[in-house]
Amino acid sequence: MRWYTLDGCGPDTFSALADGFVPMAHQFDDSQSWSAGLTGQESGAYKLLHWDQRGIRRCRRTHRHIRATPGDDFYWVIMPDRGDFSLRFQDAVTAIGPGKAMVAGLERPCHLEVPTSAAYAFQVPRTEFEHRARPRAHMSTVLDMRRGLGGIAGNMLRHVHAERSELPEREFNAVCDRVTELLCMMMLGETHPQHEHHMAVAESIRRYLRANIGRADVRLPAVAHALGWSPRQLRTVLGEFGTTFRDVRREEAFRVARDLLSDPRSTLSITELAIRCGFTPTWFSSAFKERFGMSPREYRQHRRAGTGRE
């Protein structure tokens, strides 16, 4: 896990930084006076950036950029606090301003216009979104962040950014997981009051599982008793979201495994880690790779190599 703050970046420095995330061709109006500040948080799973830009920037992602860096393993969520943005895929233009967010994949040629502005950019692994919802890769989805689930998700991103120096990777990933779930619910249209109430219950189930996998009994009767609900009530609530207790427990176990693999202090072997998280060792590696795009061994090596570079 790392975080950083860069102030007073000029066009060349900012272009190099931006290309480290998504390569594009950059054009700046009045490059002599253009400047920006950038802060970022990065874990093995998510990235959260915030920039404050003075001047206009136009970006163009071409077939050449895509061949070099496909960018097809994540989606970006752009949420402006100030300024209006536009993203164009061929003839389809999406514009957003404060109070809105845009979800888009960048594996197709596109044009982005960024005015004087301040905004958040949240990078989410494609598997996290497509596990629940299916954004349209060649277009962009606009979400209302002013109220309801959108207001909650937006505030969570702002608070995560504000606490960037205080959050270890496990906690950062846990909050980003929750934000991603809220965004998926919004894309699926699950925002009425009953769903919001049940979302809070489902969140308490996930939170309990995350804290107790490998440490306590996380079978349905034990979890229901700990939370003061009946097993039937938990099944009913989770059924509202088209899932089951077994699926939620497995999903949270995958996330615990992901965090343990990212922890440089962990001395657990892959087999020991699988057993601790409640998986059969022979099944765990292939299932983890299907879920996160890397085998457990590859994920651990990737994270530790990244930690060494940082």
The model's pLDDT over 226-274, given as tens digits with 9 standing for 90+, comes to 988 889 989 888 887 778 999 999 999 999 999 999 888 888 999 999 9
Residue 194 has pLDDT above 60, yes or no: no
Judged by DSSP in three states, 27 sits in strand
How high is the pLDDT of residue 2? 87
Give the integer Cα–Cα distance in Å for 40 and 167: 13
Residue 192 has pLDDT above 80, yes or no: no
* 138 or 300, greater pLDDT: 300
Asked if 134 and 111 touch (Cβ cutoff 8 Å), the reply is no
How high is the pLDDT of residue 229? 87
The closest of 129, 151, 155 to 140, measured between CA atoms, is: 129
How high is the pLDDT of residue 302? 82
Asked if 183 and 131 touch (Cβ cutoff 8 Å), the reply is no
Helices 245-262, 169-187: axis angle to 10 degrees equals 140
In the numeric block, which tokens belong to residue 44? 């093995």
Q: Mean pLDDT lowest for which of 61-75, 108-122, 293-307?
A: 293-307
Residue 307 has pLDDT above 60, yes or no: no
Which H helix or E strand runs over 304?
A: helix 296-309
The closest of 174, 185, 291 to 240, measured between CA atoms, is: 185
In the numeric block, which tokens belong to residue 199? 């979302």
User: Using 50, 70 and 90 to split pLDDT, how confident is the model at 39?
Assistant: very high
* 189 or 236, greater pLDDT: 236
Residues of 141-164 as b/e, b for ≥16 C-beta within 10 angstroms? bebebeebbbebbbeebeebbeeb
Judged by DSSP in three states, 133 sits in coil
How high is the pLDDT of residue 144? 94
Instruction: Provide the terminal-to-terminal Cα distance of the chain, rounded to the nearest Å.
Output: 9
Which H helix or E strand runs over 77?
A: strand 74-82
Q: Kindly report the average pLDDT of the chain as a whole number.
A: 88
User: Using 50, 70 and 90 to split pLDDT, how confident is the model at 138?
Assistant: very low
User: Using 50, 70 and 90 to split pLDDT, how confident is the model at 148?
Assistant: confident
Report the share of the chain in percent with pLDDT over 90.
54
Residue 181 has pLDDT above 80, yes or no: yes
Residue 149 has pLDDT above 90, yes or no: no
The closest of 105, 46, 115 to 71, measured between CA atoms, is: 105
In the numeric block, which tokens belong to residue 177? 């997981």
Give the integer Cα–Cα distance in Å for 49 and 157: 10
How high is the pLDDT of residue 200? 73
How high is the pLDDT of residue 134? 57
The model's pLDDT over 42-94, given as tens digits with 9 standing for 90+, comes to 998 899 999 999 999 999 999 999 999 988 889 999 999 999 989 998 878 89
The closest of 255, 277, 72 to 173, measured between CA atoms, is: 255
The closest of 306, 287, 296, 291 to 261, measured between CA atoms, is: 296
> Taking residues 209-224, what's their average pLDDT?
93
User: Using 50, 70 and 90 to split pLDDT, how confident is the model at 310?
Assistant: very low
